[in-house]
Amino acid sequence: MKVKVHGKDLSVSNDMVERIENKLSFLDKYILIDDDTTAQAVVKKHGKDIKLEITIPTKVGYLRSEVINHEIRDAVDKSVDKLEDQVRRQKTRLSRRHKEKLAVNFAAAAEAEKAPEEIPVRTKRIAVSEMDVEEAIMQMELLDHTFFVFRQVDSGVIAIVYKRENGGYGLIEAV
């Protein structure tokens, strides 16, 4: 994730820019944020205090924090805490929304493993859900898998989204 720091009505030192970048770098581990994402941080005066506004666009929506404090260091820490809380809430919301789909997939996988057949290749059966590519990527990341099979909403075609070794994602569509 890239971070852009702007100062309004005051200048922001290089140390402060580095501190903000380092504090926000922890968000890279969350699936909601891509490497191409650019976080905007604005530092400005608010009376005698300092106001720090951070906005980060994600796959699901915007993460935003606004903190007013005497010290810029404390404002950065409080902003990071707010953003981390928002990320946790988004992930919980996503997992609740897709809980039934995940349960069906796990149940189907468990049934496939119970089959006593002597087949040299491991076989799994899954329930293919309709969704768009972004939602499939999100599901893949939530499950911590390297690929995910789904049916595209717009065309009804079965497709596979996967992680590429050089970063990013790939899409395979069945014809």
Q: What is residue 51's predicted lDDT score, i.e. its pLDDT?
A: 92
Is 165:142 a contact under the CB 8 Å cutoff? no
80, 96, 112: which is the final residue of a domain? Answer: 96
Q: What is residue 158's predicted lDDT score, i.e. its pLDDT?
A: 94
Is 10:45 a contact under the CB 8 Å cutoff? yes
- Residue 78 domain-assigned? yes
Q: What is residue 27's predicted lDDT score, i.e. its pLDDT?
A: 72
Tokens representing 100 are 């039934």
96, 116, 147: which is the final residue of a domain? Answer: 96
Instruction: List the domain range (segments joined by +) for residue 35.
Output: 2-96
- Residue 113 domain-assigned? no
Of the candidates 40, 51, 44, 52, the one whose C-alpha atom is nearest the C-alpha of residue 1 is 40
Task: Enter the pTM of the model.
Answer: 0.53
Per-residue pLDDT of the chain (175 residues; tens, 9 = 90+): 788 888 888 888 888 888 888 888 877 666 556 677 788 899 998 888 999 999 888 776 778 899 999 888 898 899 888 888 887 777 777 666 665 665 566 556 556 555 555 656 777 788 898 999 999 998 888 888 899 999 999 999 999 999 998 888 999 998 8
Q: What is residue 153's predicted lDDT score, i.e. its pLDDT?
A: 92
- Residue 82 domain-assigned? yes
Is 93:73 a contact under the CB 8 Å cutoff? no
Of the candidates 97, 147, 106, 148, the one whose C-alpha atom is nearest the C-alpha of residue 125 is 106
The counts of H helices and E strands in the chain are 4, 8
Q: What is residue 100's predicted lDDT score, i.e. its pLDDT?
A: 61
Residues 75 and 143 placed together within one structural domain of the fold: no
Q: What is residue 24's predicted lDDT score, i.e. its pLDDT?
A: 82
Tokens representing 104 are 């069906």
Report helix, strand and coil shares of the chain as percent, to nearest 5: 40, 30, 30
96, 119, 140: which is the final residue of a domain? Answer: 96
Number of domains in the chain: 2
- Residue 92 domain-assigned? yes
Q: What is residue 172's predicted lDDT score, i.e. its pLDDT?
A: 95
